[in-house]
Amino acid sequence: MGDEMNSDDKFWLCLWGMGLVALITLIVCITINAQGKREKWEKAVSNGADPMVVACALDGINGHAETAICVILAQGRTK
């Protein structure tokens, strides 16, 4: 028995390697996006904007519980 890898072992190693690269890429992209939103939020709030309105503007309506808050804030701004 040698230390050589057969083609099946190479296939799985390559597949797991590609999966790991994809996962790391996804994590890096999410982190960069979150950091960018955080910087925009901090800049807007430091210039006097309402933190909740800024959060709604940056995140948009995404179907979560925050949607109700954003709708209420929008209705309050139009009156």
DSSP string for residues in 15-43: HHHHHHHHHHHHHHHHHHHHHHHHHHHHH
The pLDDT assigned to 73 comes to 74
Q: What is the pTM for the complete model shown?
A: 0.65
The pLDDT assigned to 65 comes to 63
DSSP 8-state secondary structure symbol assigned to residue 46: H
Low-confidence ranges of the chain (pLDDT < 70): 1-3, 60-66, 77-79
